Amino acid sequence: MKKNVSVVQRLRGIVFLALGVCLTAGCAASGREPVRYAGTAMGTVVSWQIYAAEENGAAEAVSEEICAAVGDLEAALSWRDDSSELAAVNRTAGDPGGAVLSPALKKILERCLDVSEASEGAFDVTIGQVVRLWDIDGWAAGEKSGEYQIPKERQIRELLEDAGYEKLSLSGNRLCLPQGMALDLGAVGKGAALDEILALLEENGQVSGAVVSLGGSVLTYGEKPDGSAWSVGIADPLDPDRMIGALSLDGQWCVSTSGDYERYVEVDGIRYHHLLDPATGYPADSGVRSVTVLAREGVLSDALSTACFVLGEERGLALVGQYDAEALFVDGEGKIVMTDGMARYFH
Ligand code: ADP
Ligand code: MG
């Protein structure tokens, strides 16, 4: 019997509401108008607006630097691309000599391991082989043809045996991966890019304000010329074309949303989404439909949003309580629960 299969990839989990109509790549700044950019990168829609105190080319220059940085990071962290740093690291699995990490990758991985420990493994970048087996992202992106096959439980179990962040050994900048393990940094790539972008904006010194949106991850920086807050909309996971509300933020927040509506395959009415529970190897089923996290760093907000999605509301709230971070959960009935800190920004 033919299965009823549909695949969905949403490119817009979160949007910033100030998005103007003129979002053209490289559109020049005039007066207090921002430099705006819109395009695609990291498998998603990216856009930004950058305001400089003076019209001296600083905003245009940093916009170009951001483009290059996002491209470089995408090239380094992709496991699909054999020439990426991550692919090279994964090829050393089982090699007792391990791999020497670049300072950037080491920093990302250390942050990931910290969240793995704090979340008791709900967030775990060592489940790369299981992620690949499901390949929900590949199917949702339309890269595959034919009929989606749900992985066999036995295959999932075998690959999970080789996963587990506590089996990694990181000493100095040398990382040893056990045989059969592969890292997947899909959950934190956009957050890592936001962290690099923040550094570029700070280094530039002439940017007065910026908002950068990389798919479901957004960075706010500095101030808007009119002094108003940056407004970041949160999609309704039950009806993603609508918003459940918005966050009014000052500068230097990273906002990440993880939801089951972004990338999924539906087989016979059952939704298989791309956020896996490392305890089972199956799409997480914690009752939560989306989680939005605010933190001061992109890798942290990204890792926490994925971890909270897997953990669900109660354990997720306890997790964010361990960090300088805020969270908002939406469940299957549309009920919204958030930390007190988040309530100051949400309306
Ligand atoms: P998106 O990429 O749509 O923003 P997330 O940031 O939440 O969504 O990351 C989802 C990606 O993270 C998956 O496509 C997969 O590569 C990876 N992933 C899935 N489950 C986990 C997990 N439990 N821990 C770490 N990474 C995960
Ligand atoms: Mg994420």
Tell me, using a 6 A CB cutoff, whether residue 216 lines ligand 1: yes
Tell me, using a 6 A CB cutoff, whether residue 302 lines ligand 1: yes
pLDDT in tens, 139-186: 888 888 888 999 999 999 999 999 999 999 999 999 999 999 999 999
Contact 219, 298 (CB under 8 A): yes
pLDDT beyond 80 at 344: yes
Provide the CATH number for the domain around residue 68.
Answer: 3.10.520.10
Runs of H (alpha helix) within the chain = 58-77, 85-91, 103-118, 128-134, 136-140, 153-161, 189-204, 298-311, 313-320, 340-343
Instruction: Look over the chain and give the mean of its residue pLDDT values, rounded to a whole number.
Output: 91
For 222, the domain range is 1-347
Q: In this predicted structure, what is the pLDDT of residue 248?
A: 98
Contact 191, 299 (CB under 8 A): yes
Mean pLDDT of 63-89: 95
Q: In this predicted structure, what is the pLDDT of residue 19?
A: 33
Q: In this predicted structure, what is the pLDDT of residue 147?
A: 87
Starting at the edge strand found earlier in the chain, the sheet holding 174-176 runs 99-100, 174-176, 169-171
Longest distance between any two alpha carbons in the chain, whole Å: 65
- Number of structural domains, the chain? 1
What residues have a C-beta under 5 A from ligand 2, the ion? Answer: 187, 256, 258, 302, 305-306
Which residues neighbour 149 within 8 Å (Cβ) at sequence distance 6 or greater?
Answer: none
Q: In this predicted structure, what is the pLDDT of residue 9?
A: 62
Task: Specify the 3-state DSSP secondary structure of 240.
Answer: strand
Tell me, using a 6 A CB cutoff, whether residue 215 lines ligand 1: yes
Q: Which atom of ligand 1 is nearest to the CA of 136?
A: 14
Tell me, using a 6 A CB cutoff, whether residue 186 lines ligand 1: yes
Tell me, using a 6 A CB cutoff, whether residue 137 lines ligand 1: yes
pLDDT in tens, 292-329: 999 999 999 999 999 999 999 999 999 999 999 999 99
Tell me, using a 6 A CB cutoff, whether residue 275 lines ligand 1: yes
Q: In this predicted structure, what is the pLDDT of residue 324?
A: 97
Contact 132, 151 (CB under 8 A): no
Q: In this predicted structure, what is the pLDDT of residue 5?
A: 62
pLDDT in tens, 85-125: 999 999 999 999 999 999 999 999 999 999 999 999 999 99
Distance from the alpha carbon of residue 223 to the mean position of ligand 1, in angstroms: 31
Q: In this predicted structure, what is the pLDDT of residue 12?
A: 42
- pLDDT higher at 30 or 114: 114
Which residues neighbour 313 within 8 Å (Cβ) at sequence distance 6 or greater?
Answer: 286, 287, 288, 329, 331, 337
Mean pLDDT of 180-200: 98
pLDDT beyond 90 at 256: yes
Q: Which atom of ligand 1 is nearest to the CA of 128?
A: 16
pLDDT in tens, 119-144: 999 999 999 999 999 999 888 888 88
- pLDDT higher at 80 or 70: 70
Q: Which atom of ligand 1 is nearest to the CA of 310?
A: 23
